[in-house]
Amino acid sequence: MDIYSSSFHQAHNKVSLLRRQPSSPVNSVSVIGFSLPRITSPSLAKYRRKGSSTGFVRACVAVEEKKRTAIIRIGTRGSPLALAQAYETRAKLQAKHPELTEDGAIHIEIIKTTGDKILSQPLADIGGKGLFTKEIDEALINGHIDIAVHSMKDVPTYLPEKTILPCNLVREDVRDAFICLTAASLAELPAGSVVGTASLRRKSQILHKYPSLAVEENFRGNVQTRLSKLQGGKVHATLLALAGLKRLSMTENVASVLSLDEMLPAVAQGAIGIACRTEDDKMASYLASLNHEETRLAVACERAFLETLDGSCRTPIAGYAAKDEEGNCFFRGLVASPDGTRVLETSRKGPYVFEDMVKMGKDAGQELLSLAGPGFFGN
């Protein structure tokens, strides 16, 4: 065998042997190659006698796995509706910012809140404000997440230190939906029928207009849970926010939609709010690109009303601000006794401007506080 054939034969055997070895680790790549020696090389025989591997190059190149660090970490509750709102936020961010469309650029972090953990008691009994936001706010402040996505009606009228809420997405339908297997409306329910709701706002307005009905007020759980309880016969009917049903694509369960005259919505119902840290200019810039100013101003008006009344889970309060046909803000506010025997309402109209709208909300709240008098809410 000539030198050329011998060298080629050994090279082929070497490559075959290397290929039969166990595969390389996940995060490394083996690079194998060889060059044929020149036939006239004077030193070839010497190297071959020593069993040298000259003529073969074997290198192991470590390929370090690049673990993408998310550009934005979104904090949210784990309910189907909360996740739908987080996904909506992600989609809107990606539509505005191409760099966020890459895999892993946005991470959604699920955080369990106090309101999610305690389901056996009415909301009014387990304590006040921030039941669905406290733990998410803490994760934001501690830097575990970059932005927090909330249903605005769950957000207390105060914000934790070191956080801001500069963004509201476009508001969904604010009305409540009537869900029932046997009747098309509250008015059609027979006397003694039980309506399930965890909301004192809904309870008081139902009992005020339909005193012959009964209300099960510890009717808690996510949308799917409450629909399951209804189908299981635990109550005859329930009310749910139409906005949530739309976001979950579950409007087929709606028997009818209540008018604003029949059921004034909760403050900020149908609105999504997104918070970030006070000093985080990068996140604030991202959120500014999503903000819907008309919604933000309406929510500010309603929350000024709620703050003036010092509303809590024990307080039946409703409020709604919207732009009318003339471009002005029209606000309606309501407070009620928990049993629905007394309902007080007021309204305001003025320029659709932040300062004016906040003033309207506060003024309406002061009026109803004065009319209600001490002890109205049973506290």
pLDDT in tens, 222-264: 899 999 999 999 999 999 999 999 999 999 999 999 999 999 9
Query: Using one digit for the tens of pLDDT, what is the confidence trace for 264-282?
Result: 999 999 999 999 999 999 9
> Using CA atoms, how far apart are residues 329 and 190, in angstroms rounded to an integer?
39
Same domain, yes or no: 251 and 239: yes
- What CATH number does residue 253 fall under? 3.40.190.10
Per-residue pLDDT, 374? 80
- What CATH number does residue 326 fall under? 3.30.160.40
Same domain, yes or no: 201 and 166: no
The answer as to whether 4 is a domain residue is no
Among the ranges given (23-27, 136-140, 143-147), the one the predictor scored with the smallest mean pLDDT = 23-27
Domain that holds residue 234: 176-257
The answer as to whether 197 is a domain residue is yes
Question: Which tokens go with 156?
Answer: 């207390």
Same domain, yes or no: 112 and 183: no
> Does position 362 have pLDDT exceeding 60, yes or no?
yes
The answer as to whether 35 is a domain residue is no
Q: Mark whether 154 is an active-site residue.
A: yes
Query: Using one digit for the tens of pLDDT, what is the confidence trace for 294-349?
Result: 999 999 999 999 999 986 556 899 999 999 999 999 999 999 998 999 999 999 99
Same domain, yes or no: 79 and 137: yes
Same domain, yes or no: 287 and 299: no
Same domain, yes or no: 154 and 78: yes
Same domain, yes or no: 202 and 152: no
The answer as to whether 147 is a domain residue is yes
Q: Single out the catalytic residue among 116, 137, 146, 154.
A: 154
Rg (CA), the chain: 32
Same domain, yes or no: 146 and 287: yes
The answer as to whether 119 is a domain residue is yes
> Using CA atoms, how far apart are residues 268 and 321, in angstroms rounded to an integer?
9
Where residue 123 falls among pLDDT bands split at 50, 70, 90?
Answer: low
The answer as to whether 60 is a domain residue is no
Where residue 46 falls among pLDDT bands split at 50, 70, 90?
Answer: very low
Q: What is the pLDDT of the chain when averaged over all its residues?
A: 83
Q: pTM for the whole thing?
A: 0.78
Of the chain, the end-to-end C-alpha distance in Å amounts to 104
> Does position 200 have pLDDT exceeding 50, yes or no?
yes
Same domain, yes or no: 166 and 184: no
Where residue 26 falls among pLDDT bands split at 50, 70, 90?
Answer: very low
The answer as to whether 40 is a domain residue is no
Q: How many domains does the chain have?
A: 3
User: What's the farthest any 2 CA atoms get from each other in the chain?
Assistant: 112
Q: Strand 176-180 to strand 256-257: parallel, antiparallel, or no bridges (unpaired)?
A: antiparallel
Q: Can you tell me whether residue 304 is helix, strand or coil?
A: helix
The answer as to whether 316 is a domain residue is yes
Contact present, 296 and 290 (Cβ < 8 Å): no
